[in-house]
Amino acid sequence: MTPPESQPTVAPALTDQFARPLRDLRISVLDRCNYRCPYCMPTEVFGEKYQFLPREKLLTFEEIERLVRIFLDFGVEKIRITGGEPLLRHGLQDLIGRLRALDDRLDIALTTNGSLLPKWAGSLAKAGLRRITVSLDSLDPDIYHRMNGERFGVERVLEGIAAAESVGLGPIKINCVVQRGVNDDGLVDLARHFHGTGHILRFIEFMDVGTRNQWDLEQVVDASEIVERIGAEIPLEPADPNYVGEVATRWRYADGGGEIGVIASVSAPFCGDCTRARLTTEGSLVTCLFADGGVDLRAPMRAGADDEALRAAISSTWTTRKDRYSEERGELLQVEGTTPSRERVEMYQIGG
């Protein structure tokens, strides 16, 4: 029997060469940032004269919406808006509104450094954003300042977190990148600060993303050490993952004061469960945080490609995917003590 004409054709879920389904899409909406975190956009490289993308090279909101529509047909369930600093993208709430209009149940989240949240939290929530992640590496004003390239103070971010909470964006995830000798002395302070608030602090091992952050294994504090150090002050017990493929390993406070997560991308890679695709600011589809490039979707879109052609490009990119960089890094570190040497897309282009 032929299906009724009004019924849309839904493409089957896409799986890659290791049978990993495409479930999440991270969209970098801007390459610019008002911070210069040394582990992401060091000031020496991204100085006053650094040429960011001109406006016409950024995907427009119409283009993003069109691509997201196709990704949803392929089974994507979660969209994360990131950058650079996404809140610097003019009219971001319009994009959130467009994506929300596609599907009221779609999980739309956003990662931000929080500095502009006091201004924008309300309109983002009104446009349909329901979840937010705020990056905060330290509560110590000097360390925080150093870790963001001497831009804003901690107070502003705490204000941003409060603003997000007050408009219903809580519980909020707080991301902290841990670097030995830089901010690791303040992990327990962060844990104490958010203990009992309902917000979920997540510690991320410092990663060798991109090629410009002087990554050094010596600066990585293993997730197990992070858990040990916090657990020694506020006892922790393991918690089950919320779903298969969750990147953070969950630990709950034994006293019922909430939970933390650790993202062990270096010490315990999770490539086997990686279901994330990334769309760069310029509209390239990238299938790994450590990829050396992506597949351009903007050029065909601007040359008049129809949805079928875009669908085919996305499908062939995902189904031929074999990425497992973090596992390869682990193997190489064990055998040769080095990391794979190759070009890598920079973090601010793909947004983590």
Q: Which residues are at the interface with ligand SF4 (CB under 6 A)? A: 33, 35-37, 40-41, 83-85, 113, 135, 269-271, 274, 288-290, 323-326, 347-348
Name beta bridge partners: 177. 204
- What are the distances in angstroms from CA 189 to CA 54, 201, 213, 230, 234? 41, 11, 26, 9, 11
Which amino acid type is present at position 172? I
Query: Which option in ligand SF4, ligand SAM, none does residue 23 bind, with CB closer than 5 to 8 A by kind?
Result: none
Q: Which long-range contacts (CB under 8 A, 24 or more apart) does 31-34 make?
A: 31/83, 31/84, 31/281, 31/348, 31/349, 32/83, 32/84, 32/85, 32/88, 33/83, 33/84, 33/85, 33/88, 33/113, 33/348, 34/85, 34/88, 34/113, 34/115, 34/116, 34/151, 34/152
User: How many C-beta neighbours within 10 Å does residue 292 have?
Assistant: 12
Minimum CB separation of residue 177 from ligand SF4 in Å reads 8
Q: Which is nearer to ligand SF4, 99 or 116 (CB)?
A: 116
Minimum CB separation of residue 33 from ligand SAM in Å reads 6
Query: Which option in ligand SF4, ligand SAM, none does residue 175 bind, with CB closer than 5 to 8 A by kind?
Result: ligand SAM
Of the candidate spans 6-14, 50-58, 108-116, 220-228, the one that interacts with ligand SAM by CB under 6 A turns out to be 108-116
Minimum CB separation of residue 257 from ligand SF4 in Å reads 28
- Provide the token pair at 125: 């929530």
Query: Which option in ligand SF4, ligand SAM, none does residue 109 bind, with CB closer than 5 to 8 A by kind?
Result: none
Query: Which option in ligand SF4, ligand SAM, none does residue 260 bind, with CB closer than 5 to 8 A by kind?
Result: none
What is the rounded CA–CA span in Å between residue 348 and residue 109?
A: 17
Annotate each residue in 175-204 with x if it binds ligand SAM (CB under 6 A) or - if it does not, as one string: x-x--------------------------x
Of the candidate spans 56-64, 254-262, 284-292, 344-352, the one that interacts with ligand SAM by CB under 6 A turns out to be 344-352
Minimum CB separation of residue 139 from ligand SAM in Å reads 15
Q: DSSP string of 12-28? A: PPPB-TT--B--EEEEE
What is the rounded CA–CA span in Å between residue 352 and residue 349?
A: 9
Using CB under 6 A, count the residues that bind ligand SAM: 21
Minimum CB separation of residue 113 from ligand SF4 in Å reads 4
Query: Which option in ligand SAM, ligand SF4, none does residue 31 bind, with CB closer than 5 to 8 A by kind?
Result: none
